[in-house]
Amino acid sequence: MIRVMLADDEAMVRAGVRAILGTDDEIEVVAEAADGVEAVEAVRRHRPDVAVLDIRMPRMDGLAAGAEIRRTVPDTAVVILTTFSEDAYIARALGDGASGFLLKSGDPRELIAGLKAVADGAAYLSPKVAQRVIAELSAGSGGGAMARAAAAKEQVAVLTPRELEVLGLVGAGLSNAEIAGRLYLVEGTVKAYVSAVLLRLGVKNRVQAAIVAYEAGLVTG
């Protein structure tokens, strides 16, 4: 069972998300919050597997709440629920350790799939959000996309061939179990490879690793 905490200052939105998640027997909403302060307190109290946070909330916004949750309750994954008007904030959330980005306007099945992926240790970005994240990070670098690509290739040069293979599959959005099946490895071995890759790249989570994989040209299709 995947235990979820929902945080949004609009009760109707929370009710809608809860209703969507209620259609899946593997997901249970264990707590709700109307602002960031309540969200952090709820996570500390209930220790859910995933915290779903809106960005714009009173007292403490979702970005600050997500950063605090990752700092104080690292076993809880953070998913940001966003809209296109908020995509300028995505890079900040990414830097603070968020594992997923979902659109309120997206397909309900995407919400369920995203939470399951994140709970399974994978990163999950809605396809449109993924494009914007990569574009935002590339545009934000001093030398542009080409400079970031060169830097990423230099960054991944420290990895072994197998680690590069694992990183490419992380970039493609595969979970540990899916990578294990693809590479004919046991899941524990994949977890060890992923941990080693994150450490050697100096990144905080799989989302950041996926960005490096994209920029280094390790993700195809």
* Half-sphere CA count of 168, side-chain side, radius 13 A: 16
The overall pTM is greater than 0.85: no
Q: Domains of the chain (ranges plus CATH)?
A: 2-134 (3.40.50.2300), 141-216 (1.10.10.10)
In DSSP terms, 124 is beta-bridged to: 100
Low-confidence ranges of the chain (pLDDT < 50): 141-142
With CA atoms as reference, report the closest residue to 38 among 14, 12, 74, 3.
14
> What is the residue-wise DSSP string for 24-52?
-TTEEEEEEESSHHHHHHHHHHH--SEEE
* Residue-wise pLDDT tens digits, 17-68: 999 999 999 999 999 999 999 999 999 999 999 999 998 898 898 889 998 9
* Residue-wise pLDDT tens digits, 61-82: 888 999 899 889 988 999 988 7
Query: What sign results for the dihedral spanned by CA atoms 195, 198, 202, 203?
Result: negative
- The number of residues in the chain equals 221
pLDDT given at position 144: 57
Q: Residue 119 is which amino acid?
A: A
